[in-house]
Structure 1
Amino acid sequence: MYCTPAQLADAKLVRELAQVATPERLPIVADDLFEAVLRGEDTSAFPAGDVANANEALAVVVRALTDADGVIDGYLALRKPVAYTLPLDPVPGIVGVWARWIARYLLHKDRVNTREETDPVVRDYERAIKFLEQTRDGKFALGADDPLPPPSGGAPAVCAPQRVFTAETLRDYGT
């Protein structure tokens, strides 16, 4: 995975994820329990039913992260002129950020009464897609180890009309 559930917890998204990932038929998972589940920590101090609900919510988050990975790989597989070997390993930090932005967008698919121009979830998603498009087109590098071709070193190509004044046409004017 390009972004892990623990990285989502590190990004302070526990409450938001609990609200959007808990299945509608269940009560929203408590923040402290969901953070423990996201981080893979011990949950034995919590009631078994609550832990089961938290694990269902975690499955929703993992599905969104997996879908985000698919979106990223879809763009990077079409990289011009050199495609990446997928999945990326090691994962460049920026790719993890893009995965988080895309997963959040996928998890918020049912939100209402939001303005897309000012919604940070939509803004981040659109930025991720824009960067992925630029990366696909070879206009954005993923770091120092990115296999972008080096800039060419030849003479610049010039497209212009024939010269009007040459040594031959100026011969009659002397030097």
Structure 2
Amino acid sequence: MSYLTAQQLADGPESLKELSELYGIDAALLAATLDGGDRSAWTIDEQAEADEALDSVNRFIALGDGEVDARLSQRGYQLPMSAAQFPVLTVWARAIVRYHIHRQRDRTSEETGRIERDYRDALRALDYVAQGKLSLGAGDPLAGAGPADGGAVRVASNPRMFTRNTLGAL
């Protein structure tokens, strides 16, 4: 089970355009490849390039899933989690995958800073989940599963040696 699909990664006109530019593939061909649509208008070579791009995207998705799982496992979640039940996982996985695709393709644009920020924010949020400081949302099986006393500091000591009773009438 994956937290993100290639179709979700390319969801929206700007996202599809971004992927098609990164891989140097016509956006309509990439959309048809992602959706399993008719690609007969393109050459066999163009179709093969689109297939390679989809394979690459799927490898990056697997990498992103691994990063999400690595952080969730620190807290003891039963993996893989359900992206349908916890949609925030899809948001975080998407930020991670976009970052790795951009880094691998070695392209820069004004969008790069936002992509890097989203990646760091996703990792920070996952780290907070791993530390128990952030919940995955409604239905989180480990929400509030910290120490029974809420992490309060307790101090214990021996009983007092000198009291009114032990010292007498001094």
TM range (shorter): 0.7 to 0.9
Deviation of residue 41 (structure 1)?
2.3
* Deviation by residue 1:95-129 (Cα, 9 ceiling, x = unmatched): 0011110001001115366689x800100000000
Deviation of residue 150 (structure 1)?
6.0
CA contact (8 A) 2:68 2:93 kept: yes
Of 60, 69, 73, the residue aligned with 2:56 is 60
Contiguous gaps of at least 5 residues in structure 1: 23-27, 160-167, 169-175
Counterparts in 2 of 1:1-175, with a 5 A limit?
1-12=2-13, 13-20=15-22, 22=23, 28-79=24-75, 83-91=76-84, 92-109=86-103, 110-111=105-106, 119-147=113-141, 148-149=143-144
Deviation of residue 48 (structure 1)?
1.7
Instruction: Compare the two structures and name the one with the higher helix fraction.
Output: 2
Deviation of residue 158 (structure 1)?
7.9
Q: Which amino acid aligns with 1:131?
A: A
Q: Which amino acid aligns with 1:18?
A: S
The corresponding residue for 1:164 is: none
Q: Which amino acid aligns with 2:92?
A: W
Deviation of residue 90 (structure 1)?
4.6
State how far apart, in whole Å, the 1-side matches of 2:87 and 2:99 are: 19
Q: How high is the sequence identity, in percent, across the aligned residues?
A: 36
3-state SS in 2 of match to 1:85: coil
Dislocated runs of 4+, deviation >4 Å: 112-116, 150-154, 156-159
3-state SS in 2 of match to 1:10: coil
Contiguous gaps of at least 5 residues in structure 2: 156-163, 165-170
TM-score in terms of structure 1 length: 0.74
* Deviation by residue 1:54-75 (Cα, 9 ceiling, x = unmatched): 0111111111111000000000
Deviation of residue 38 (structure 1)?
1.9
CA contact (8 A) 2:71 2:130 kept: yes
**Structure 1 vs Structure 2 CA RMSD:** 2.6
